[in-house]
Amino acid sequence: MQIHFTAASKRFNKEWIFSNLDFSFVTGEHYALIGNNGSGKSTLLQIIAGYIGLTKGQVNWVDNNGQSIDSSNIFQHISIAAPYLELVEEFTALEQIAFHHQFKPILSDIKPLDLLKKIGLSKAADKQIRNFSSGMKQRLKLALAIFDQAPILLLDEPCSNLDQEGIQTYHQLIQAHATHKLIIVASNDPQEYQFCSQQVSLSDFKK
């Protein structure tokens, strides 16, 4: 998979969030989007995920066969974990995994209880998510994204609400299950993107 930005610019109202971004993201590489608050890190992730569009310029998604992917289908190739994405509070952990699997299959060798065990939530399998702590919810969000079969993994402030044990679990999951993917992390916290080999500072693309 490859994602190509050409003269990409995004404006909200009269403010340009970033401008004239020329960059390509390629499978197997891990990237950190860094920059001041308001520089467009989360916005760029949402554009990559197909949630919102550019104001000017182009973004092109290309599969491993060199074929372009339409923006309406890009969700099939992407998994994402972000603070603004919610879990279904009325579901139990196992029900949330089953619901997710209907739309985005998880890795075939990972069973739901195995997934929960890997993130330290096996005892909460039948507990409603409304009764989870913020850290437990974040662990589940990360697991659903990392164990998704999609080749592109987007992570927005992935260690939000995690304690030190949760942060270690996050890095273990990335190392064991996601290093082959195209990973893009939006963060200003180095411990969240320490495995990334490339950094893209969006503050450099301000008008």
Q: What is the model's pLDDT at position 36?
A: 86
- Domain residue limits at 132: 2-205
Find, among 42, 35, 27, 69, the residue nearest to 155 by Cα: 42
Residue-by-residue pLDDT tens, the chain, 207 positions = 899 999 999 999 889 999 999 999 999 899 999 998 888 999 999 999 999 999 999 999 998 888 999 888 898 899 999 988 999 999 999 999 999 999 888 888 899 999 999 999 999 999 999 999 999 999 999 999 999 999 999 999 999 999 999 999 999 999 999 999 999 999 999 999 999 999 999 988 886
DSSP per residue over 47-103, as a string?
HHTTSS--SEEEEEEE-TTS-EE-GGGGGGGEEEE-TTPPP-TTSBHHHHHHHHHHH
Q: What is the model's pLDDT at position 88?
A: 96
Q: What is the model's pLDDT at position 128?
A: 97
Q: What is the model's pLDDT at position 34?
A: 96
Q: What is the model's pLDDT at position 97?
A: 96
Find, among 58, 68, 1, the residue nearest to 28 by Cα: 1
Q: What's the structural domain count of the chain?
A: 1
Q: What is the model's pLDDT at position 207?
A: 66
Task: Write the CATH number for 119.
Answer: 3.40.50.300
Alpha-carbon span 188 to 46, nearest angstrom: 17
Give SS3 for 189.
coil
